[in-house]
């Protein structure tokens, strides 16, 4: 199937800075594709090149198999939603949604029909005559998306649209945006520095760092099979140890951490040898906690530790455990059973996790 969007060896230099450094990807029709990376890594620069506001230094951009490099921004079959999704406060909802259609000179009845259809699509039929300030925050977001979607872009570009919202609304809008994308069956390219936004909404995520794509994959692939230390550290939370490999045994390995712990891990298919520097990443939810060391016998990593912090956060509650020599602070998710609900700071606990089978 022809991708809706293809970027081929995209490069953008600003003087001595290479903001986008040889980035290639394609986005299949009707999918939700996110570019995830820290501030300043080059995300907006990619979007501006796709939208046509900025020329690439080299490389090509194709939409439905046609290069758009020589097409001016207003003629490209893309639409861009900016950071605030702002609506025009003096206009009605219908006038807001029809804004681009009016500018394109469509006849009135056709505009009215398309606006009604869009309101239907976003689950807000019949509210066209209302004013913007009569809507809730979530409804405004939907109207802002509808305003772009009536123009029927092949690709909708969204540049951190939830950044300015408070946490509660942001959580809800993640679900809504994904539903809207499915309702309009249009390709969304979404950029964010927030891993949870990317994980929740995307079919595919590209993790970006210093102008380059480190890895492209589904949320699951990035989370469970990160290709690089950057991806492992950026997607999801991890305990991280740096050290030297002391043993390699099939996919399993042993590492002596710089702090002196001996840990077992897995190479996940990478070719590694004894003496090499490496890092081990262990997810807080992969570590089990027990009162009695015997319960953890089946794990190849075990430790006695002391609880230094309790981080209550409902179902995502954690503790921080310090090893006996006080060298390491290890984040461990608390089980849902409530068995450890009464843990106090300073309590001794046993922790263990499986290294050789991977985490």
- Give the number of C-alpha atoms closer than 13 A to the C-alpha of residue 59, restricted to the C-beta side: 23
The residue from 7, 32, 43, 215 that contacts ligand ADP (CB under 6 A) is: 43
Task: Tell me: does residue 44 bind ligand ADP (CB under 6 A).
Answer: yes
- Using alpha carbons, list the distances in angstroms from residue 323 to 302, 306, 348: 10, 7, 10
Residue span binding ligand ADP (CB under 6 A) among the ranges 23-31, 32-40, 150-158, 331-339 = 32-40
Asked if 39 touches ligand ADP (CB under 6 A), the answer is: yes
Minimum gap (Å) between residue 118 Cβ and Mg ion? 27
**Residue 326 binds what, of ligand ADP, Mg ion, none (CB under 5 to 8 Å, by partner type)?**
none
Report residue 214 as tokens.
Answer: 């480190």
40 binds, among Mg ion, ligand ADP, none (CB under 5 to 8 A by kind): ligand ADP
Backbone φ and ψ for 275, nearest 5 degrees, come out as 95, -15
By the rule CB under 6 A, 19 interacts with ligand ADP: yes
Determine if 41 is a binding residue for ligand ADP (CB under 6 A): yes
Q: Considering all CA atoms of the chain, what is the largest pairwise distance in Å, rounded to the nearest integer?
A: 77
Tokens 């080299």 -> residue: 58
Using the contact rule CB under 5 A, the part of the chain among 36-44, 56-64, 129-137, 287-295 near Mg ion is 36-44
Nearest distance from residue 38's CB to ligand ADP, in Å?
A: 7
| CA 68 to chain CA mean position, Å | 27
According to the binding rule CB under 6 A, does residue 16 interact with ligand ADP?
no
- Out of 44, 181, 202, 257, name the contact with Mg ion by CB under 5 A: 44
- Locate 306 and state its tokens: 């002391």
Q: How far apart are CA 80 and CA 48, in angstroms?
A: 9
- Minimum Å distance from CB 152 to ligand ADP? 27
C-beta closer to Mg ion: residue 196 or 279: 196
Residue 314 is given by DSSP the state T
User: Which does residue 114 touch among ligand ADP, Mg ion, none (CB within 5 to 8 A, set by kind)?
Assistant: none
Nearer to ligand ADP, 55 or 295 (CB): 55
Q: Which is nearer to Mg ion, 44 or 354 (CB)?
A: 44
We find the least distance from the C-beta atom of residue 83 to Mg ion, in angstroms, to be 8
Instruction: Report the residue number whose CB is nearest to Mg ion.
Output: 44
Residue 53 near ligand ADP by CB under 6 A: no
Which residues, at least 6 apart from 326, have a Cβ–Cβ distance to it below 8 Å? none
DSSP count for the chain of H helices, then E strands = 8, 19
Least CB distance from residue 181 to ligand ADP, whole Å?
Answer: 21
Could you give the C-alpha distances from 313 to 216, 317, 318, in angstroms and in order?
31, 4, 7
Q: Could you say whether residue 198 binds ligand ADP (CB under 6 A)?
A: no
Whether the CB-CB separation of 175 and 168 falls below 8 Å is answered with no
We find the least distance from the C-beta atom of residue 193 to Mg ion, in angstroms, to be 8
Using the rule CB under 6 A, give the single segment among 35-43, 198-206, 297-305, 306-314 that binds ligand ADP.
35-43
Instruction: Name the DSSP letter for residue 81.
Output: E
Q: Which of 4, 6, 33, 42 binds ligand ADP (CB under 6 A)?
A: 42
Among 9, 14, 108, 291, binds ligand ADP (CB under 6 A): 14
In angstroms, the CA 103 to CA 89 distance is 18
Number of residues in contact with Mg ion, rule: CB under 5 A? 1
Residues 6+ apart with CB under 8 A from 117: none
**17 lies in the site for ligand ADP, by CB under 6 A:** yes
Q: Which one of ligand ADP, Mg ion, none is in contact with 52 (Cβ closer than 5 to 8 A by kind)?
A: none
Scored b (16 or more CB within 10 A) or e, 238-273 reads bbebebebeebeeebbbbebeeebebbbbbeeeebe
Characterize the bridge pairing of strands 155-159 and 78-81. parallel
Binding region for Mg ion (CB under 5 A): 44
Binding region for ligand ADP (CB under 6 A): 14, 17, 19, 37, 39-45
């Amino acid at each position: 199937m022809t991708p809706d969007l293809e970027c081929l060896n995209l490069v953008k230099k600003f003087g001595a800075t290479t903001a986008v450094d040889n980035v290639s990807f394609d986005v299949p029709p009707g999918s939700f594709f996110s570019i995830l990376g820290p501030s300043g890594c080059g995300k907006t620069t990619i979007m501006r090149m796709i939208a046509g506001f900025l020329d690439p230094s080299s490389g090509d951009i194709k939409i439905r198999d046609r290069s758009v490099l020589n097409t001016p921004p207003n003629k490209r079959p893309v639409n861009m939603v900016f950071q605030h999704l702002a609506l025009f406060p003096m206009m009605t909802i219908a006038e807001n949604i029809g804004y681009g259609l009016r500018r394109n000179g469509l006849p009135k009845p056709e505009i009215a029909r398309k606006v009604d259809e869009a309101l239907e699509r976003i689950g807000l039929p019949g509210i066209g005559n209302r004013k913007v300030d009569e809507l809730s925050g979530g409804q405004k977001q939907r109207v802002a998306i509808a305003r772009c979607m009536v123009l029927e872009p092949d690709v909708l570009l969204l540049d951190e649209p939830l950044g300015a919202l408070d946490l509660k609304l942001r959580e809800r809008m993640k679900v809504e945006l994904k539903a809207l994308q499915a309702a309009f069956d249009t390709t969304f390219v979404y950029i964010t520095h927030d891993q949870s936004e990317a994980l929740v909404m995307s079919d595919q995520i590209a993790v970006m760092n210093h102008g380059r794509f480190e890895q492209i994959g589904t949320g699951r692939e990035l989370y469970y099979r990160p290709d690089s230390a950057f991806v492992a550290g950026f997607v999801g939370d991890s305990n991280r140890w740096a050290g030297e490999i002391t043993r390699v045994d099939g996919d399993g390995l042993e590492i002596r951490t710089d702090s002196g712990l001996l840990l077992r891990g897995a190479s996940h298919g990478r070719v590694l040898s004894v003496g090499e520097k490496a890092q081990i990443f262990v997810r807080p939810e992969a570590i089990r906690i027990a009162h009695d060391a015997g319960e953890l016998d089946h794990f190849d990593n075990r430790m006695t530790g002391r609880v230094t912090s309790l981080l209550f956060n409902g179902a995502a509650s954690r503790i921080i455990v310090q090893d006996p020599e006080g060298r390491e602070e290890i984040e461990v998710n608390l089980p849902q059973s409530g068995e450890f609900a009464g843990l106090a700071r300073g309590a001794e606990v046993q922790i263990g996790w499986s290294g050789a089978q991977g985490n």
